[in-house]
Amino acid sequence: MTTKNVINITVKVNGKDHTAAVEPRLLLVHFIREVLALTGTHVGCDTTNCGACTILLDGRPVKSCTMFAVQVDGRELSTIEGVAQNGALHPLQESFKEKHGLQCGFCTPGMIMSTYALLQKNPQPTEQDIRWGISGNLCRCTGYQNIVKAVQYAAEKMSAKKETGE
């Protein structure tokens, strides 16, 4: 049984270009974790349910376990490793810490990617907006309430920052 055609892809990940030769069947999540060694993105259920594999594709949250790496040739990805800027935690990351929005932390990268995109689109979400925004991300530990509080707190901090023109 021969390996099917191997394909060269170029992908920008967290602002940096990467080129690799991959089998078409290589899942995007495996490309990110094993080829790029960015292991912050997690494989949870592997059945498109839990969202632990959530990354941003051209700014939109997608489940990387349900895409092939070859599909993102020429596109831009953001993973959890790209959220902190210049060594400083993003307000979302600060808030998850402050408001105890995680216990085991396994769902957290996916939660942060989903809510990062949510806050970009909707900087002042209601509680319902937040819960709807994370409806593709499962958490077995927290019961979600502190995750919601973390996102609300981050939204406050981010709009306060905007007002002071920081």
Q: How many residues interact with another protein (rule CB under 8 A)?
A: 32
Phi, psi of 8 (to 5 degrees): -85, 130
The alpha-helical segments, DSSP class H, found in the chain are 28-30, 91-98, 108-121, 127-133, 145-163
Site for another protein in 89-118 (CB under 8 A): 114
Site for another protein in 27-56 (CB under 8 A): 27, 46-49, 51, 54
Q: Given the complex with another protein, which of 2 and 85 has the nearer CB atom? A: 2
Q: Is 7 in the site for another protein (CB under 8 A)?
A: yes
The rounded distance, in Å, linking the Cα atoms of 143 and 150 is: 13
Q: Is 133 in the site for another protein (CB under 8 A)?
A: yes
CB 134 within 8 A of CB 115: yes
Q: Given the complex with another protein, which of 24 and 143 has the nearer CB atom? A: 24
Instruction: Tell whether the torsion through CA atoms of 32, 40, 116 and 163 is positive or negative.
Output: negative
By CB under 8 A, name the one of 11, 31, 38, 61 that touches another protein.
61
Q: Given the complex with another protein, which of 19 and 85 has the nearer CB atom? A: 19
The rounded distance, in Å, linking the Cα atoms of 70 and 24 is: 6
Summarize as ranges the residues that interact with another protein (CB under 8 A).
1, 3-5, 7, 23-25, 27, 46-49, 51, 54, 57, 60-63, 65-68, 70-71, 73, 114, 132-133, 135-136
